[in-house]
Amino acid sequence: MVARVAVGRARVVREVRAAEPLAAALSAPLTARAPWLTAVLNDGAARWLPTRPAAVVVDGAADGPPRAAAFLDLRRRGPVTAVRLLGQARSPLPGGRPTARLLARDAEAADLLAGGVLSLLDSLRGPWSLRFTGLPLGDPTARSLAARLRTAVLANERSTLLVDALDGIGPVERGRDGRLLERWLPEFLAAAPDRRARGLLRATARLHAATGHLEVAVVADGDRLRAGLLTLLDGGDRWPCWGVAGDGGLETGMGAPVSTFSVPLRRWPR
């Protein structure tokens, strides 16, 4: 069995949705799941970007989820193609833990997925570079890729976690109601660094609020937002993802280690 490649937004959206059962079974982070990645793809389609989304897929049983999948972003800069994980080069991304995942059911599927990624790289015209950020430590597909690419580098670093300390500055209103989000969303968006970040924050916040996966917490003085926090919810797990702290109430702490797999600019053969 070999992996196959799908390129283009419509095809990748279908592959992202088909892989959602696998992502859920592997407890992939919400930032590597179908709703978030679909929002990234939709936001990219709404504006011109010099990128092409791609999916590398190892099929499973007929009518079942794939055995493995990787969702990538191919950005052309002159003669060079930069290969990244889909959504990992877009802000805002929550900190404190891995935000990406190369989905693989088992070690064999991870090896097949690595082979598919190499085949995709082999098909690119001209030189390319590769950088996969936000991975968990010991990712089996990254290990398999590293064993086949002589110049590959695996680097680990400690992430920074956003800590909810809103209760220390005043009464906090918390809720999952979409109306609470819409009331204060302009204040959260105003803190985003640029128009592209505001667009993605708006899309992901509304989507996760609609599915009950977002908590809004605010400390307000009338119509003035003193501080606020958006938290992703996945079952009992809470992941602070974006905050406004004009009057304090948000802190940072030591998060989990995350891994980056990279290959510097190169041409074939490997």
**Beta carbons within 8 Å of 54's beta carbon, 6+ residues apart:** 5, 6, 7, 12, 71, 72, 73, 74, 120
Tell me if the domain spanning 166-248 has CATH number 1.10.10.10: no
Return the pLDDT at 270.
47
Pull the structure tokens for residue 73. 């972003």
Q: How far apart are CA 50 and CA 29, in angstroms?
A: 27
Question: What are the tens digits of pLDDT across the range 231-260?
Answer: 999 989 999 999 998 878 899 999 999 999
Q: Where are the domains of the chain?
A: 4-158+258-266, 166-248
Return the pLDDT at 48.
65
Question: What are the tens digits of pLDDT across the range 174-190?
Answer: 999 999 999 999 999 99
Question: What are the tens digits of pLDDT across the range 194-223?
Answer: 888 999 999 999 999 999 999 999 999 999
Question: What are the tens digits of pLDDT across the range 70-122?
Answer: 999 999 888 899 999 999 987 789 999 999 999 999 999 999 999 999 999 99
Q: What is the mean pLDDT of residues 44-65?
A: 84
Reported as half-sphere exposure (CB side, CA atoms, 13 A), residue 15 has a value of 28
Q: How far apart are CA 120 and CA 140, in angstroms?
A: 18
Topology (CATH level 3) of domain 4-158+258-266 = Aminopeptidase (3.40.630)
4-158+258-266 and 166-248, same CATH topology: yes
Evaluate if residue 268 carries a pLDDT over 60.
Answer: no
Calculate the CA dihedral of residues 84, 89, 95, 101 and round it to 10 degrees: -30
Q: Which helix (H) or strand (E) holds 152?
A: none
Question: What are the tens digits of pLDDT across the range 142-175?
Answer: 999 999 998 999 999 999 999 999 999 999 999 9
Rg from Cα positions in the chain: 19
> What is the model's pTM?
0.92
SS3 54: strand
Q: How many CB atoms sit inside 10 A of residue 150's CB? A: 9
Say if residues 115 and 3 touch (Cβ distance below 8 Å). Answer: yes
